[in-house]
Structure formats: C-alpha cells, structure tokens
Amino acid sequence: MNTPKAKILLVDDKQANLVALETLLEREDCLFYSANSGDQALKLALQHEFALMLLDVHMPDMDGFELANILKTHKKTKQTPIIFVTASRFQPNDIMQGYTEGAVDYLFKPLNPNITRAKVNAFIQMYFQRKEVERMNAKLDEANKQLVKTNKALEEFANIVAHDLKEPLRTINSFLHLLYQRNKENLDNESLEFMKLCTDSASRLDQLVKSLIKYARIGYKNLDKESQSLGQIVNDVQLGLYAKIKESNAIIEVKNELPSLTVNYIQISQLFQNLMDNAIKYQAKEK
C-alpha cells in the first residue's frame, strides 16, 4: 500500500522566498503548496489537509498572525501545526502572541538550513505517525463492527442449535424414564447403572446447550461461577466416560484429594473431560 504524501503549505508574499524554502525542504514523501497572500493560503487550507504550514509573519493585507487566528477557528484547520517565519527578532510578548494565535514554533531569517530542515522533518514525522494511528484505529473500528456481526450470528446460531437439540433431548429423557418404569423390576444392577448413565449424560448435554446459549449472549467473563469440588467433578466426568473407560481397559486414579475452586461447572467439566478423553484415546499401553 502506497503511503499518501504529506502536504506542506508555504506562505510568503515574496515568490523568491517560497522557491528557496521549497528547495531547502524538498523530500520525496512531501508535496509543497505555495501561497503569496493570506487569502490564497486560506483557500488552499480549506481545500487540502496539510501536515504543516509555514507562515511568513509580515505580509500585506493579512499578516501571518491574522491568518493563523482565522485558521484556528475552522474545524478543518485548527489542529494543523503552524511555524511562523520572520525576519524580526520578537520580544517575549510578541512571541507569546504567536503561540496564542496557534503557532507551534518559530524560524528566524536568515534561515539556518539544518535547523529549518530538522524542525520541519520532526513535524512531518509526527504527521505520518498520526496518520498511521488513524489508519490502525479505522481497522480496529472495522474489526469491532465485524465482531459485533459475528457475535450476533453466533447468538442466532446458538438459539437455533438449542431449539433443534432440546426436543430430541426431551424425547430421550422421556423414553428412558418410560423404559425404566416398565422394566426396573426385570433389570439387573449393571443395566440400571447404564440407564442412569444415559439419563445423566442427557442432563449434561442439556446443561451444555444452555451454557452455549448463555456464552453466545453474554460472553465468557460473565458466566456464572460457584465453588465447585473438583473431586466431584472428576467423578461426574468419569461417569460420562464410563463406556470409553471400560472399552479401553483404562483406570483413572486421583492420588490426592482435589480442592474446591470458584469456577463455571460446565467449563471445568469440559476441561477434565478433554483431558481424560485424550488420555484414553492416545494411550500407548494396553492398560
């Protein structure tokens, strides 16, 4: 991406001074505009965004102080830095007047080339830095807008998923309950345990769906957190992984008592489930 050039406005009623100043300050990343009067300078200032203005103080009709005062009243130009260029050695009160009118610095004729270039280059550098900040802020603003859209889409998706999942879950729970009522006298203890595992898993899935909706609506930081026993959570997760644990001949041992922490139950359960599930899935030994 090509970086736009910085525009510099030079104002002096003597054409020779304008040519000399532009020659002194010439650089590839700048465009120079010249004005021979305050009126002409004002028109240019309202047409362009200038990184810096160098105003000659002593000009007929409208001097540099008057021009700076007018520029300070316009929204488009009030933040543009101004350097006054003068052949006079001002008294402190005169210099303060210039700062009051909007000057950020002074250059005294005859101009010292090194000092002149150094001061102007500093303001040009600040201009480019400011434009880069504006560009990054614009990108950030666009990213925020996209994030709002994405969050809205996520919330809508979560609502759809929740609606589509809740009905099958209710059906599963209903049939499991019906199956239990009809056959509980005929089932052995292991079969009853299997049914309990199924109902517990359905309940956990229902909680996950509710958490998905809540997460989509309010975000991670605002999820409910309570004091939870990690030992109990590990036991709950083992029940959910009962079939995998049995099929893989795995043994899960908790060698020390786990503490209680203030956490979100669903999230911490998912954490332990992922840890155990991966351990079972990628085990290197027969047992």
Domains (range + CATH), the chain: 6-111 (3.40.50.2300), 224-287 (3.30.565.10)
CA 224 – CA 131 distance, rounded (Å): 43
Q: Provide the β-strand partners of residue 8.
A: 32, 52
- In this structure, are residues 232 and 265 in contact, taking their beta carbons and an 8 Å threshold? no
Query: Look-up: residue for tokens 């049914």?
Result: 195
CA 234 – CA 269 distance, rounded (Å): 8
Q: Which of 168, 155, 263 is nearest to 206 (CA)?
A: 168
CA 65 – CA 79 distance, rounded (Å): 16
pLDDT tens by residue, 230-282: 998 888 888 778 778 888 888 888 888 899 999 888 788 888 888 988 888 88
Which range has highest mean pLDDT (78-87, 135-144, 195-204, 215-224)?
135-144
pLDDT at 157 over 70: yes
- pLDDT of res. 223: 67
Count CB-CB contacts under 10 A for residue 28. 5
- pLDDT of res. 50: 93
Global pTM reads: 0.54
- In this structure, are residues 71 and 98 in contact, taking their beta carbons and an 8 Å threshold? no
Average pLDDT over every residue of 58-87: 84
- pLDDT of res. 220: 54
- pLDDT of res. 216: 61
Tell me the percentage of the chain whose pLDDT exceeds 90: 26
